[in-house]
Amino acid sequence: MSITVLIVDDDFRVGALHHDIVAARPGFTALEPVRSVGEATRAVAAQRPDLLLVDVYLPDGDGIELARASATDAMVLSAANDAPTVRRALGAGALAYLFKPFDTGVLAGHLDRYARFRNLVHHDRVLSQADLDRALAILHGAGDQSSVSRSATEQLVLERLGTDEASASEVADRAGISRATAQRHLSALATRGVIDVRLRYGTTGRPEHRYAARPSTP
């Protein structure tokens, strides 16, 4: 059965972008994005989504409290990166917290892990401690070597990124690798906080992901 996802974001461009990411994942159905707590509350009651992707700051209220009150699985997607907000989201039951902007692959990875997690804990059965530990490890990406080590290709990607801001295509050209490979390694670096990712909006089409090395701390 398909996992239905409701995106709650007051920026229609961001909501549409996240909708497309969800819709592209096998086993997921993206509902029409909504832009406020009121719209989300009505959508949750009418459509019963399995998962919310919710921003913190909404025009008529707080996304974290929306997630808490909905009693629906939720991930928080927000530019708010202060520790109190993150703790509040996790305390409200958020399964993940993603700092915006992020690469497409970051959200796709969280969705894929959520699907595997849900498959393990969704059924009405008694779980062993080993079952629960495995499900939580999958949800949080434990054991994913791309998140704890740096391969030779990833090191090359980081070196070719240098100190400039660049797209995945530009880094791929510099490194002599495919764009898909560059994108994958840039996504892994961004997920671990090694580099920053930003969205650059043009006059038409989807926003472009731009990557930049984080400034070194003195």
Q: Is the pLDDT of residue 215 over 60?
A: yes
Q: Is the pLDDT of residue 158 over 60?
A: yes
129: Cβ contacts below 8 Å, ≥ 6 apart:
none
147-213: CATH, from 1.10.10.10, 3.40.1190.20, 1.20.1250.20, 1.20.140.10: 1.10.10.10
Global pTM value: 0.67
Peptide bond into 101 cis (omega under 30): yes
Mean pLDDT, residues 99-124 taken together: 88
In the numeric block, which tokens belong to residue 147?
Answer: 């998140």
pLDDT, tens only, 53-88: 999 999 999 999 999 999 899 999 999 999 999 999
CATH class, 3-100 region: alpha beta
Domain ranges of the chain: 3-100, 147-213
